[in-house]
Amino acid sequence: MPADTSTGPTQSPARFEAWYARLLLGEAVPAALPLRRAVAVHANNAMVAACEALAGNFPVVHAMLGDTAFAALARRHVLAHPPRDPRLCLYGANFAITLAGCADLAAWPWLADMARLEWRVVTALFAADPPDRPRRLTPRRSWPLAPATGWLPSDWPIVSLWQAHQPGAVWPDDFPRHGELALICRRDSQVLVTALPADALSLLDALHWRTALAALDAAILAHLPALAAAGALVPAIGDG
């Protein structure tokens, strides 16, 4: 890579930014040692901040991989998908894509789903609060999902794996041999991740599309109390 011996454009902020951005991205290396050091400080600050945000938002993936492997993957992700939003608490929407595209992780095929699950935990944490006033339910209306509610069907026992990595959790003797449907919701200021029966997915999809309760099969509606108890639905009162 050729050394950049210029001292940068003088008058135009746009030209200066373009020049400095090339240095920051490593597309050119300043010839002057002080500038090289300064660019390295800024590049490192930016990388560390983004990697720390990923570590904070994906604690289970971090725990599964360990510090060294996670740091390498976080760095790869930052280079491919740098933060676009200054809110680093919401950084990492595409982390699962980075994990899924990493051939070295083929022996851990559930990792991408774990990243998807943890991203839903992040979005649940910062989602809008449900309305204070209970919604009046009638059979002709749907029962709205709470803003924080999300779900993830997985071919892996993703809920059991997630729960086993929570602080203070008891490590199970074994994990289920089947996939799990994860429900992510927020109740009493806590984000909860629970496993639902696989056929509850139909109900979640129906509520997502605001299907009237009267249009749902009784077998599907049977899952409604579990969703309400988990805090997955907005507060509501029936009309009898």
Partner 1 sequence: MHGTLDHRPSVRLGAGIGLRLPHLAELAANDGASAALPDGLWFEVHAENFMVDGGPRLAALLAVARRHPISLHGVGLALAGTRMAPAAHVRRLRRLCDRVGPVLVSDHLAWQLVDHAHGRWHVPDFLPFPRTKAALALAIANVARIQDALGRRLLIENPSHYADIGNHDMPEHAFLGALAQATGCGLLIDVNNIHVSAHNLGLDAGWLVDQLPACAVGEIHIAGHRPDAESGLLIDSHDAPVAPDVWGLAARLLARTGPRPVLLERDADLPPLADLLLEARVAAGLLDAADAG
Residues that bind partner 1 (CB under 8 A): 7-14, 16-18, 20-21, 24-25, 32, 34-35, 37-38, 40-42, 45-46, 49-50, 53, 80-90, 124-129, 147-148, 186, 189-190
* Minimum gap (Å) between residue 19 Cβ and partner 1: 10
Nearer to partner 1, 15 or 178 (CB): 15
Least Å distance, CB 160 to partner 1, is: 25
Cα separation, 50 vs 212, whole angstroms: 43
Least distance in Å: CB of 145 to partner 1?
15
> How many Cβ atoms sit within 10 Å of the Cβ of residue 65?
19
Least separation in angstroms between residue 221's CB and partner 1 is: 28
Judged by beta carbon, residue 84 or residue 177, the one nearer partner 1 is 84
Q: Please state, in angstroms and rounded to a whole number, the distance separating the CA atoms of residues 155 and 12.
A: 54
42 or 136: whose CB is closer to partner 1?
42
Tokens matching residue 104: 């070295």
Taking the least distance from each CB to partner 1, the nearer of 124 and 220 is: 124
How far from the centroid of its chain's Cα atoms is residue 171's Cα?
24
Tell the smallest beta-carbon distance from residue 124 to partner 1 (Å): 8
In contact, 213 and 221? CB cutoff 8 Å: yes
Nearer residue to partner 1 within complex by CB, 8 or 176: 8
Q: At what angle do helices 111-126 and 33-57 cross, to 10 degrees?
A: 90
Q: Where are the alpha helices (DSSP H) in the chain?
A: 13-24, 33-57, 59-65, 67-80, 95-100, 111-126, 158-164, 200-208, 218-221, 224-230
In the complex, the smallest distance separating the C-beta of residue 2 from partner 1, rounded to whole angstroms, is 19
**In the block, residue with structure tokens 């400095």:** 20
In terms of CB distance, is 52 or 217 closer to partner 1? 52
Q: Strands across the sheet with 150-153, in order?
A: 150-153, 181-187, 190-196
